[in-house]
Amino acid sequence: MYNKGKIIPGLIIFVALMLFAVFNNAGKKLEAPKPEKPKDHKECVLPLAEINKTHMKLLNDWRDEVIREGNREQIKVEGKMYERSLQKGCMLCHTSKKKFCDVCHEFASVYPYCWDCHIAPQEPQEEMVQQEAK
């Protein structure tokens, strides 16, 4: 090898940095986010475990059905009718984007494009006053 004096120390430093990254976080428990749940509603359009995993697919399917196919029929879940809509469906129960959507999306470093088209719901005034005081 021509650069043995540089390659071997370089590999040792690289391996040490990678092992540091792995072992630095070993054993630490990462707390899952706790979004604010709706107060007046106990059920959702899907079971909780399923909606946590597949809500983006559900929203994309609703978008395709409503906007692209023109199917605006409401869906019925356990006797209750739900509109296929982010704002007229989901956000009626989940009233705070900051306390519900943003909590999990920031934790997962996911930045959906929902709000590029949709208008974000108004946050309650008392929360705005508290944020300004900080």
Asked if the model's pLDDT at residue 132 lies above 70, the reply is no
Q: Cα separations (Å) of 90 from 38, 42, 46, 97?
A: 10, 13, 12, 11
pLDDT at 105: 93
Q: What is the pLDDT of residues 95-112, one digit of tens each?
A: 888 999 999 999 999 999
Of the candidates 89, 37, 41, 99, which has an alpha carbon nearest to the alpha carbon of residue 62?
89
Work out the percent of the chain whose per-residue pLDDT is above 90.
29
- What pLDDT is recorded for position 32? 86
> Model confidence at 6, in pLDDT bands (50, 70, 90)?
confident
Residue 41 to residue 90: CA distance in whole angstroms: 11
The string of pLDDT tens digits covering residues 45-92 is 888 889 889 999 999 999 999 999 999 899 888 888 889 888 888 888
Question: Mean per-residue pLDDT for 15-43?
Answer: 85
